[in-house]
Amino acid sequence: MLDFTKLLSQSLSPFTDGGGTSQAFEQWTKSLDGHDDEYVQYGRDLGFIAHAHGKQAMDTAQRHAQSNLEAWQQVMGAMATPMLAQHWWQYVVDGAQRAVLYADAMRERGNHFVEHEEGSHKTVLSWEHEMVVDGKTLSRPVNYSLVRIVPPAGVTVREDGRPYIIIDPRAGHGSGIGGFKHASEVGAAIHGGHPTYFVTFTRMPMPGQTLADVTAAEADFVREVRRRHPSAPKPVIIGNCQGGWASMLLAATNPDITGPVVANGAPLSYWAGQKGKNPMRYLGGLVGGVSSVHLLGDLGNGMFDGSNLVFNFERLSPSNTWWEKYYTLWDKIDTEVPRFVGFERWWGSFYYMTTDEIAWIVENLFVGNRLGRGKAHLNERTHVDLREVNSPIIVFASHGDNITPPQQALGWVADHYTDVAEIKARGQRILYTLHPSVGHLGIFVSSSVAKKEHGEIVSTLKAIEALAPGLYEMVITEEQGQGVDKTFKVAFAERSIEQMMEQCGGDDSDRPFATVARFSEFGAELYDLSVRPVLKAMTNQASAEFMANTSPMRAQRWLQSDRNPAMQPVKGLAEQVRANRQAAPADNPFRQWERFNAQLITQWWDGVRDMQNAMIEWNFHLLWAAPPVQALGERLSRTVAKSEPREDLRTLTEVQDALDRIDLGDFADGVIRMLIFLANSRKEVRRSRLERSNQMLLSTEPFASMKPKHRTRMIHKESLIVGYEPEAAMAALPKLLRTDDERRQGLALCEQIAGPREEMSRETIDMMNRLALTLGQEPVAIPPDEPGSVLRIA
DSSP annotation of 760: -
> Cβ of 533: how many Cβ atoms within 10 Å?
11
CATH code given to domain 129-277+358-506: 3.40.50.1820
* Residue pair 102/329 in contact by the 8 Å Cβ criterion: yes
Phi-psi region of 52 (alpha: psi -120 to 50; beta: other; left: phi over 0): alpha
Q: Would you say residue 366 has pLDDT above 70?
A: yes
* Residue pair 49/88 in contact by the 8 Å Cβ criterion: no
- Phi and psi dihedrals of 483, rounded to 5? 60, -135
Q: Would you say residue 787 has pLDDT above 60?
A: no
C-alpha to C-alpha distances, 314 to 309, 310, 485, 713, nearest whole angstrom: 9, 6, 37, 47
Residue spans per domain, the chain:
1-80+590-645, 129-277+358-506, 649-774
DSSP annotation of 782: P
**What is the pLDDT confidence band of residue 143, given thresholds at 50, 70 and 90?**
very high
Which parts of 92-195 are beta strand (E)?
Answer: 129-134, 144-149, 164-167
Distance of CA 713 to the CA centre of its chain: 29
- Does the pTM exceed 0.95? no
* Residue pair 292/535 in contact by the 8 Å Cβ criterion: no
C-alpha to C-alpha distances, 718 to 288, 429, 636, nearest whole angstrom: 51, 14, 38
**What is the pLDDT confidence band of residue 791, given thresholds at 50, 70 and 90?**
very low
**What is the pLDDT confidence band of residue 762, given thresholds at 50, 70 and 90?**
confident
Task: Compare 492 and 484 and report the one with higher pLDDT.
Answer: 492
Q: Would you say residue 786 has pLDDT above 50?
A: no
Task: Compare 280 and 540 and report the one with higher pLDDT.
Answer: 540
* Residues 330-351, mean pLDDT to the nearest whole number: 92
Beta partners for 471? 430
* Residues 158-174, mean pLDDT to the nearest whole number: 89
Average pLDDT, the chain: 85
45-55: b (≥16 Cβ within 10 Å) or e = bbbbbbbbbbb
